[in-house]
Structure 1
Amino acid sequence: MPNYVLSCCSTVDVTEDTLDARDIKHIDFNYELDGQWCKDDFGRTNSPAQLYAKMLAGAEAKTSQISAGDYAEHFERFLSQGLDVLHVTLSSGISGTYNSALAARDLLAEKYPDRKVVVVDSLAASSGYGLLVDRLADLRDEGLGIDEVAAWAEEHKLEVQHWFFSTDLTFFIRGGRISKAAGLMGGLLKICPVMDVAPDGSLAVKEKIRTKQRAIKRDLQIMEELAQGGLDYSGKVYISQSECQKDARELANEIEAKFTHIDGPVRIWDIGATIGCHTGPGTVALFFWGKSRA
């Protein structure tokens, strides 16, 4: 048995049961909905449907990173048991939580001189972050030590490909990621922006494609171009979605028909509250192992 725990944040956008089954510990993000603080706790506080209904009705949603104090409390649960901690954070390109985790590590160093907390910036988001943590759990289960797993993560984390498209630009406009003029024109022309996560972990608009069907086809084409092994890709594929299960399933069906060697069926997850507060409903995100984004 390893003498360390693998840990992440709830923003990995898989299910809590999945994390529990893989013995991956987690800490919940927070968000504010019309002045009320809520936990991004895998939909227990607000299911995705409830969250988006409230947002569409005009509720103001704001996200909040995990504090250094909360991280310290989370890490200490394990350090006090004589265990080290490998914690993987949401991308520093979209959240300051990486720095909070580092601050917590430093706060605890004097109290637990014989223990270590290793913090890795995933430079990933949503279920792409989940895909990375899942691979690290494989390596831990193979017997790799905490430093070996952390080193592997640093070397390979940019190989996680993220490709998003959205059919509803409302909350991208509200959050300032797309201008009102561009959003209005995009709505009229049925434009679905195709986005990825840049090497610095930030979200970047790559292409503007008309119609959802073309965006789905473009995601499929991108995967063929970038996946490790091309059409012979044999890794896992994750898709996350915000209240557009039908679109996500259509993309998954296309992938399963074209990439016949993938590891199991395509896993479809809900986009959690933290990411969902920024995307709103109508977003589909595709994740797979591919060429490095560096």
Structure 2
Amino acid sequence: MAAYRIFTDATADMPGFSTAGLPPVVTIPMQVEVNGQEFIYGPDGDLSVNMFYQMQRSGKFAHTTQVSPSVYFEYFTPYLCQGIDILYLCFSSGMSGTFQSANLCMEELKHEYPERTILCIDTLCASVGEGFLVWEAARKQAEGASLSELAAWVSEHRLQVCHWFTVDTFEHLRHGGRVSSAAAVMGTALQIKPLLYVDEQGCLQVKQKLRGRKKAIAEQLLHMEREWMPELGKQVFIGHGDDLQAAQQLREAVIARFPEAEIAIADIGPIIGAHTGPGMLALIYWGHGR
């Protein structure tokens, strides 16, 4: 069986310890612009999660861009030269053009390295949801799955990664065009906490508008109660946007209702945090579907 390496991008948020003991996953960095200043988030980048949220809390807004073809060539080529095949688990095409950009690059690389297998899969996931799927894929690789077997498994199960998000502020959703200015003003005044999810097309959608964080968390748990499939895996990821205390509270609430759940907490990085702002909470698990 030919050697292969799993790649992902900096959108995939995972707990820092989660890949310990698993085959290495290569993370491709991404560009983030904050208040007109450009940064790189990811390996060897110049933007940390703490630094990013400090800037957001000071009133600065962020924008993100898809990975450029030159970056893909820089990261993929050394492995192909060594005879290593590539499986790239990519940020959802429903939220970014990253998947299309990656495919254009890979088609060119397939002509240069016809003996190598180079696959790009649209995860239809984002942030800790993408990280969750990448982590599970690394586990499958550790168990001996071939590249083709793993690609088929990811394609079969990606829509069973359930994402439920609640945000603490409308400002960054408004700035990114996700909600109108009027809705943001009204929502802030009424202490509305939107509940969002990732749909079957990999797009971020508003599901409900709830009064207060407690109701939003209760609704996240209710969805998990209806959908969770522990037979696929008991691992649960909780993501937070610079609010560890809230993430720990959500963790305790999940444990109280689902004591068999194996929970890990991860930071929500700048790629999704640029659009959701500080205080975001995410609950990720295996479910029946979206």
Q: TM-score band, normalised by the shorter chain?
A: over 0.9
Question: 1:105-138 CA deviation, whole Å, 9 max, x = no partner?
Answer: 1111121110011000000000110111111112
Whether 1:286 aligns to 2:283 is yes
Q: Identify unmatched segments of 5+ residues in structure 1.
A: none
Q: Does residue 221 in structure 1 map to residue 222 in structure 2?
A: yes
1:240 aligns with 2:239: yes
**Kept after mapping to 1: 8 A contact 2:29/2:45:** no
Cα offsets for 1:199-257 (capped at 9, x unmatched): 1001000011111111111111110001015xx88520001111221111111101112
Q: Which secondary structure does the structure 2 equivalent of 1:91 belong to?
A: coil
Structure 2 counterpart SS, 1:201: coil
Number of residue equivalences: 289
Cα contact 1:234–1:261 (8 A) shared by 2: no
* Gap change, CA 1:64 and 1:2, over 3 Å in 2: same
Partner of 2:10: 10
Q: How many Å apart are 1:69 and its aligned residue?
A: 2.0
TM-aligned CA distance change 1:17 to 1:43, over 3 Å: farther
**Mean Cα displacement is larger for which, 101-110 or 233-242?**
233-242
Amino acid at match of 1:258: R
Q: Which residue of 2 aligns with 1:195?
A: 196
Cα offset for 1:287? 0.3
Q: Distance in 2 between matches of 1:287 and 1:85?
A: 26
- TM-score, length basis structure 2: 0.94
Query: 2:44, 2:94 → 1: CA distance?
Result: 24
Q: Percent identity?
A: 35
**1:118 equivalent in alignment to 2:115:** no
In the alignment, the residues of structure 2 paired with residue 110 and residue 270 of structure 1 have an alpha-carbon distance, to the nearest angstrom, of 38
Distance 1:152 1:233, change over 3 A: closer
1:15 is displaced (CA, Å) by 4.7
Supply the distance in 1 between the matched residues of 2:100 and 2:20 (Cα, whole angstroms): 26
Q: 2:27–2:43: 8 Å Cα contact kept in structure 1?
A: no
**1:97–1:143 distance in 2 versus 1, CA, 3 Å:** same
Provide structure 2 residue ranges, at least 5 long, that are not aligned to the other structure.
none
Structure 1 distance, partners of 2:31, 2:20, is: 20
Decide whether the 8 Å contact of 1:228 with 1:290 is kept in 2.
yes
Q: Which amino acid aligns with 2:236?
A: V
Q: Are the structure 2 counterparts of residues 254 and 42 from structure 1 closer, same or farther at C-alpha, using a change threshold of 3 Å?
A: farther
CA separation of 1:234 and 1:6: change in aligned 2, threshold 3 A: closer
Which TM-score applies when normalising by structure 1?
A: 0.93
Give the equivalent residue in structure 1 for 2:85.
Answer: 84
**Higher mean Cα deviation, 33-42 or 62-71?**
33-42
